[in-house]
Chain A
Amino acid sequence: MNDTMNDTMNDTVNEGATTGTHGHFAGAVLMPGMPQLLAADPAPVWAELTAESKHVGTLLRDAGAETLVVLSTQWFTVLGHQVQLDPRLRGVRVDENWYDFDYGTMPYDLRTDVELAEQWAKEIERTGLEARRTHYEHFPIDTGMIVATGLLDPADTLPVVQVSCNLYAGVEAISTLGRAVMDAASAVGRRVAVVAVSGLSSGLIQQWITPGEDHVESARNEEWDRRVLGLLAEGRFGEVMELREQYAREAQADSQLRALAFLEGTGQVNRPADVRAYGPLWGTGGAVVHWAP
């Protein structure tokens, strides 16, 4: 973490607060979905990212979050926007790349806030986008979703709603999903924490490494990541969005950092963020960034 970020890292959250701009916003977080965050023997920076993810989960719950709203770039789709409606998602996810590692096998047990999810689908449709209601037994839940919800809410006190990340959707559409979920939360009277599960630069190290060997794959990528995080910490969200395409080209930002547009759509994050941790995850950049209500 650089000094600039540290300077702006302050716990400005009024823990226990129950009011947001709409009264329905309990905070937002950008966090990675790489399973290394679950490692039994993590690199120190993995452990820091894990600890900060858990801490932000505490802040969200203390802020009165009733439901976690999640967009994970690892649930990628190509037709419309899928909204999960299965009330109970239980199973064991074995990641198709990390299966040999202790963190590659992930039991999960998630409760869906079906009322909010249904309303979200309606709000998405109201905007002219296609909402595809998804309710199938044994539907594969993505690694990012399991990692994020497991760290933010380890005691499983909060239900979730989730939407897929359409590979081809523009930032306007992704932003619309964020706006739609706030409208849905307002309609059903829910206070939500909004979670974007996404990495930053994505220079995966194409070797099998030990945790201690991990590093951001290139200095250029790390420079980009820190630049973006610095802008978020200073509340210059609009500048980040303007730089997004260049960042995507030059540092292969995870899903072109469109997940940030999801948070933007809530109308709640155009102000200084609390950048709580940053570091490498198998060469990719990962950060835990929190916006208080």
Chain B
Amino acid sequence: MSRAFPVISVRAMSSVFKVPVGDRTWQRRTGGSPGHPTPAADEPVRDCRGPGIVAGILAPHPPQLLYAENPSQNEPTSEGGWEVLRWAYEDLRRRIREMEPDVIVLHAPHWITMVGHHVNCVPNPKGFSVEPIFPHLLRYRYDFRTDVELAEAIADQASDDGLVTRKMRNEGVRVDYATITALHLLSPDWDIPVVSLSANNNPYFYSTSSLDQMEILGESARKAIEGLGRRAIVAGSNSLSHLHWERELGLPEDMTYEHAYNHHQYRWDMRLLDLIRAGRTRELREMIPEHIRQTESETKAGSLSWMLSALGWPEDVGEVLTYGTVIGTGNAVCLWDMRGRQ
């Protein structure tokens, strides 16, 4: 197996447009105050079937996982592979069903927008998506429903919170493979409405998302979800360590090639996952930038930070459902079950 380290060090370059964070609409929508209000002692704990964010998910999107599932929507067929990761998604889907969400809000890194944060507001995205990097693995016919009201509310809220945003209403924009893969693995019947958010970064300029902006965007999403009374799952779609093989040898699903890229990456992934398992989210928040530096983690696209910010960086919650590698990258399926906590 040939291996290659990136020869160019990736650096944060994005010259971020920052304006003072404001919020002109959230209180008006909800009659409440920003943040995570703590119920008074005599207030009942929120009904576990009530509105709000019921769970956060780290949902990696290697197209190999979807390819290995052999869904009817995907042209290529496989002999399987990456079963342990896929079994974790299977367990996760069962738990998602139990949560009865109204919507899944997803941030994924491969709808790349050079300027600002975009929200897909097309009511019924439908089309055929050929993955440009792994076209032999993912050629997928997609057809799903957007929760347009929530999509627009998130865009409005993010704009009010000082982010550059755009509502994408053009049906001709191809839905990217990361969005498709993560959503398919979370909800293969596509019967839960979706809100899809873009990633404001650019790999060919080697830019990295501003994690600060991603945290603001997470808060914006939470305000919009709560303002509209949606029962939502927020999913950030990132792999962890992201160095990988430079070649594909033989059958893609031949698992004899599959293992961690190197010990260093694996150890750093385990350090991050240890914090998730222990529910030490404040430490996790501090560690994410260092994990990115050490492993070129795909969390540099900000999806994990966005999701945890939407949850309010909760302590004492967090499960690692599994960890596995895909062409050497580290991938973990993680769940933050927020039911009864808000």
Contact = CB atoms under 8 A, between A and B. Distances in A.
Contacts of B7: 168-170
A170 to B, nearest CB: 4
B19 to A, nearest CB: 10
B198 to A, nearest CB: 7
Contacts of B172: 92, 94, 99, 105
A168 B17 CA distance: 28
B244 A78 contact: yes
Interface of B: 4-8, 11, 13-17, 111-116, 118, 128, 130, 132-136, 139, 164, 166, 168, 170, 172-174, 176, 198, 200, 202-207, 244-248, 327
A167 B244 CA distance: 12
18 contacts: A77-B132, A79-B133, A94-B173, A96-B111, A96-B176, A97-B112, A97-B114, A99-B173, A104-B170, A167-B204, A202-B202, A202-B207, A204-B15, A204-B205, A206-B16, A208-B166, A248-B206, A254-B204
Interface stretch (A5-13, A114-122, A134-142): A134-142
Name the residue in A79, A104, A170 with the highest tally of chain B Cβ atoms < 10 Å from its Cβ. Answer: A79
Given A94-B173, A96-B198, A248-B8, A74 B14 contact: no
B204 A207 contact: no
A252 B206 contact: yes
A134 B135 contact: yes
A207 B13 contact: no
A266 interface: no
A28 B232 CA distance: 53
A252 B207 contact: yes
Contacts, number: 130
A263 interface: no
Contacts of A248: 8, 206
Given A77-B133, A92-B172, A99-B170, A249 B115 contact: no
A199 B173 CA distance: 23
A104 B174 CA distance: 13
Given A168-B246, A206-B115, A252-B13, A73 B173 contact: no
Determine the main DSSP class of A at the interface with B.
loop
Interface of A: 73-80, 92, 94-97, 99-100, 104-105, 130, 134, 136-140, 142, 165-170, 199, 202-208, 217-218, 245, 248-249, 252, 254-256, 282, 284
A75 B114 contact: no
Contacts of B17: 205-207
Contacts of B246: 78-80, 130, 166, 168
B61 to A, nearest CB: 14
Given A252-B205, A256-B8, A97 B139 contact: no
A78 B246 CA distance: 7
A169 B246 CA distance: 9
A173 B38 CA distance: 57
Nearest to B16: A206
Nearest to A252: B13
A143 to B, nearest CB: 10
Q: Which 8 A-B pairs have CB atoms at the shortest separation, nearest pair first? A: A206-B17, A94-B172, A202-B205, A99-B170, A252-B13, A170-B7, A168-B6, A136-B135
Contacts of A95: 173
Given A96-B174, A170-B7, A202-B13, A208 B115 contact: yes
Contact of B4 (A168, A207, A256): A168
A140 B113 contact: no
A7 B84 CA distance: 64
A142 B173 CA distance: 13
Nearest to A77: B133
A254 B203 CA distance: 9
A69 to B, nearest CB: 19
B143 to A, nearest CB: 15
Contacts of A249: 11
Nearest to A217: B15
B328 to A, nearest CB: 11
B337 to A, nearest CB: 33
A105 B128 CA distance: 17
Given A79-B247, A218-B15, 4 more contacts: A94-B170, A99-B173, A207-B115, A282-B114
A99 B139 contact: no
Contacts of A203: 15
B206 A140 contact: no
A27 to B, nearest CB: 25
Contact of A96 (B4, B113, B128, B136): B113
A99 B115 CA distance: 12
Contact of A100 (B8, B133, B166, B204): B166
A225 to B, nearest CB: 14
Given A97-B115, A204-B115, A138 B139 contact: yes
